Amino acid sequence: MKIDRLKDSGYPAGRLMIIGLDCAEPSLVFDRFRHLLPNLEKLSGSGYCGPLRSTDPPLTIPAWTSMFSGQDPGRLGLYGIRNRTGYNYSDLMISASGTVHVPRIWDYVSRRNEPSILVGIPQTYPIRPVNGCVVAGMLAPGTHSRFTHPPALKLEIESVAGGYEIDIPNFRQVSPEELAERIWTMTRKRFRVFRHLIKTREWRLAICVEIGLDRLHHAFWHYWDTNHPLHFPGNRFQSFMPDYYSLLDREIAGVLQSTPEDTAVFVVSDHGAQPMMGGVRINQWLMNRGYLTLRLQPPPESDLQMDWIDWDRTLAWGEGGYYGRVFLNVKEREPRGIIPRSDAERICSELAREFENMTGPDGNLLKNRVIIPRLHYRQIRGYPPDLMVYFGNLAWRSLGEIGVPDIFTRQNNRGPDGANHAQYGVLISNLPLKPENDSGGFQITDLMSVFCEILNIRLPNDAFPEPAGNGNGQD
Ligand SMILES: [Zn+2]
């Protein structure tokens, strides 16, 4: 990586600030809403701005952890917010900070006894102490929990913010009136806390991730996007999305006013967003095609329960979420597996082909993208799905529910939802970054080495180990 200005200006004397806007979408930031974002434009004036390719899958977890560690989801063993913990039939488990087994950028800074300020970063709860201060991000259970380091910081930030909010739990169940108010307030409080910390603490690294934009996209995209199938003209939230982007720009300007001159600043997102066209009932589809068999008649519109499945006649089952995960029922791997190991690869390929040939409600090809983790990642840790399916390249969500004859629905079964994730996020910096590969731009895992260069951190030689063989171990 070559960062000319760093060398010219005598770095590494400086500091690094990273402002994360979860879900910031490049087509809005660089085009549709560009006129609303003068401060972001100024920041990148003689620096860099462009799309940032997210992880596969492009989800909050693992994407932020990939950015801050340089490791891809295969090496992290994290394939979404929820992951398998073994080859059994238990529910997937939420992946909190304890599931991150690699150092992240602030761990290296801490080892040098230099202080960091970390606010709102996913997978920082339960809190692990660092040199500096931490305010945990998404997945922390609420402000009643021990969500700060040091613990006494909690009272200070609650006082500065007038009551702090980590996230908005169950935001899809909150009325749009209430949700709009809460997202706005939460964001203002987060930035107030971040400004307070950068002004009152020593720091070498400061990171703030705001989750509000992700919540906004899911809940309000269709109110703004006149081409969205759920849009209705004249609604009262038509301008909420652009107004909120404008708020973010002003809040960032406030942070930059309090930031020393010698700071390398990055504004980044973990993935983008796109209008959601609807949901695909993945288990209903698997049942219709004979891959999945139940031993009872399920109640209508219910989530598939593992003990309803007739494992002796089931080859595969799926999970809902931003993308479809499919698990094969493999002999001597799953407790009651029926696919001989020697057949697993063939069945996986057949299923991939069937997903790729899936047509949508209008009879046209849905253009699904199928990823086979075993082939996609250089190394696999943990327990990945056997197939990952991006329905309509993520324009459609995966729904785990059964007991409904229709494969397709316009609604997310978790509540109204106007957007799904998209593969590219944003990368803006006051430094004139140059991707190593002229043709491709930056990948999210490229940034760790840029951050390390700025902070003059030499990663150990084994920080990005090359896997032995194809690397399909389950360590
Ligand atoms: Zn996200």
Domain shared by 53 and 93, yes or no: yes
Question: Which of 370, 395, 416 delimits the end of a domain?
Answer: 416
Q: CA 243, 277, 404: angle at the middle one, nearest 5?
A: 130
User: Residue 54 Cα, ligand 1 centroid: separation in angstroms?
Assistant: 10
Domain shared by 349 and 446, yes or no: no
Omega before residue 176 within 30° of 0, cis: no
- Quick check: is 475 in a domain? no
Provide the number of structural domains found in the chain: 2
Q: Are 127 and 142 in contact (CB under 8 A)?
A: no
Domain shared by 260 and 290, yes or no: no
The residue behind tokens 């199938």 is 229
Q: Is the pLDDT of residue 390 over 80?
A: yes
Give the span between the Cα atoms of 302 and 282, in whole angstroms: 13
Question: Which of 391, 416, 441 delimits the end of a domain?
Answer: 416
Residues in the chain: 475
User: Residue 44 Cα, ligand 1 centroid: separation in angstroms?
Assistant: 22
The boundaries of the domain holding residue 107 are: 4-274+422-454
Domain shared by 358 and 440, yes or no: no
User: Residue 271 Cα, ligand 1 centroid: separation in angstroms?
Assistant: 6
Domain shared by 291 and 357, yes or no: yes
User: Measuring CA to CA, how many Å separate 178 from each of 92, 132, 190, 238?
Assistant: 31, 35, 18, 16
Domain shared by 160 and 30, yes or no: yes
Q: Is the pLDDT of residue 113 over 90?
A: yes
Point out the least confidently predicted range of 4-8, 67-71, 189-193: 4-8
Residue 33's φ and ψ, nearest 5 degrees, are -105, 10
User: Residue 424 Cα, ligand 1 centroid: separation in angstroms?
Assistant: 11
Residue with the bigger pLDDT between 63 and 11: it is: 63
pTM exceeds 0.85: yes
- Quick check: is 473 in a domain? no
pLDDT in tens, 440-469: 789 999 999 999 999 999 887 767 655 443
Q: Are 134 and 156 in contact (CB under 8 A)?
A: no
User: Residue 23 Cα, ligand 1 centroid: separation in angstroms?
Assistant: 5
User: Residue 292 Cα, ligand 1 centroid: separation in angstroms?
Assistant: 31
User: Residue 60 Cα, ligand 1 centroid: separation in angstroms?
Assistant: 3
Q: Are 24 and 213 in contact (CB under 8 A)?
A: yes
Chain CA centroid to CA 82, Å: 12
Name residue 267's beta-bridge partners.
19, 428
Domain shared by 376 and 230, yes or no: no
User: Residue 428 Cα, ligand 1 centroid: separation in angstroms?
Assistant: 17
Domain shared by 303 and 435, yes or no: no
Domain shared by 60 and 205, yes or no: yes
- Quick check: is 465 in a domain? no
- Quick check: is 152 in a domain? yes
Query: If you ran DSSP here, which 8-state letter would residue 309 be given?
Result: B
User: Residue 321 Cα, ligand 1 centroid: separation in angstroms?
Assistant: 13
Domain shared by 86 and 102, yes or no: yes
Domain shared by 77 and 181, yes or no: yes
Q: Please report, rounded to a whole number, the percentage of residues in the chain having pLDDT higher than 90.
A: 83
User: Residue 272 Cα, ligand 1 centroid: separation in angstroms?
Assistant: 8
pLDDT in tens, 161-197: 999 999 998 888 889 999 999 999 999 999 999 999 9
Domain shared by 286 and 261, yes or no: no
- Quick check: is 459 in a domain? no
Give the span between the Cα atoms of 391 and 357, in whole angstroms: 11
Question: Which of 416, 439, 466 delimits the end of a domain?
Answer: 416
User: Residue 270 Cα, ligand 1 centroid: separation in angstroms?
Assistant: 5
pLDDT at 470: 36
Q: Which of 323, 320, 315, 288 is nearest to 405 (CA)?
A: 288
Q: Are 407 and 281 in contact (CB under 8 A)?
A: yes
pLDDT in tens, 304-320: 999 999 999 999 999 99
- Quick check: is 460 in a domain? no
